[in-house]
Amino acid sequence: MRFLLTLLGAMIASLALGLSSAWYMLAAPRTGTVDIGTWRALPTIDAATADPYVRARIARSGEIGMGAGEGLTFVAATDSNGRELAPNCDYRIAGRSPPARLWTLSASDAEGRPGATPEGRAHVDNRNLLRDGSGRFVVTLAASARPGNWLPMPATGPTTLTLRLYDTPLTLGSDQMPSLPSIERGACR
């Protein structure tokens, strides 16, 4: 009887450790990420080099990453002072356009749902961005419409900003990473 209880305990411990390690590998930050200020560069996802954990993470999250040669993806969940992006606050995202043929900036909630304007626009991109005389831009991330470059804030939960650079000369292994936009908190309601 004691042997069966020891065996059952070992099986339960093995199951708990196995499930918790699998959960950790799916939820943990990816290997190969590079931090630039508050922004984190996500490594490219290539079908030929994706390990089982990357495949499981993609299946779990529904995320479709960029492949090698397509571009880079950067995400930020905090402002430049390290505070979580909250839906009841406005933010000022300012900087220069990173080197890329096209780049987009979008905001999504914890479920991956983007904020959207009444017309359905859920991102800003470098093709229709207002800039000052020196080439700098300012995008306002807010729940309600603002003049100038406005990015709609998701209505609930923590927010994640995603900056995608398409057809860029940059690589994660490069010594020269771009200067990415700052994220400054404004008024909160």
pLDDT in tens, 87-106: 889 999 999 988 889 999 99
Asked if residue 69 and residue 119 are part of one domain, the reply reads yes
Asked if residue 150 and residue 138 are part of one domain, the reply reads yes
Asked if residue 15 and residue 77 are part of one domain, the reply reads no
Asked if residue 92 and residue 51 are part of one domain, the reply reads yes
The letter for the amino acid at 151 is L
Residue 137: CATH number of its domain = 2.60.120.600
Asked if residue 164 and residue 131 are part of one domain, the reply reads yes
Asked if residue 107 and residue 24 are part of one domain, the reply reads no
State residue 122's pLDDT score: 85
pLDDT tens, residue by residue, 122-171:
899 999 899 998 889 999 999 888 899 999 988 887 899 999 989 888 77
**Euclidean distance between CA atoms 158 and 161, whole angstroms:** 10
Mean pLDDT of the chain: 82
Q: Report the predicted TM-score, pTM, of the whole model to 2 decimal places.
A: 0.76
State residue 1's pLDDT score: 84
The domain containing residue 11 runs over which residues?
1-30
State residue 61's pLDDT score: 59
Asked if residue 179 and residue 101 are part of one domain, the reply reads yes
> What angle is formed at CA 138 by the lines to CA 133 and CA 140, rounded to 5 degrees?
150
Asked if residue 26 and residue 44 are part of one domain, the reply reads no
Q: Between 71 and 80, name the one with better pLDDT.
A: 80
62 pLDDT band, cuts 50/70/90, is: low
Domain count across the chain = 2
State residue 54's pLDDT score: 67
Asked if residue 72 and residue 5 are part of one domain, the reply reads no
Asked if residue 172 and residue 162 are part of one domain, the reply reads yes
46 pLDDT band, cuts 50/70/90, is: low
174 pLDDT band, cuts 50/70/90, is: low
**Euclidean distance between CA atoms 49 and 45, whole angstroms:** 8
Asked if residue 36 and residue 119 are part of one domain, the reply reads yes
Asked if residue 99 and residue 38 are part of one domain, the reply reads yes
Please give the radius of gyration of the chain, using alpha carbons only, rounded to the nearest integer.
20
State residue 184's pLDDT score: 96
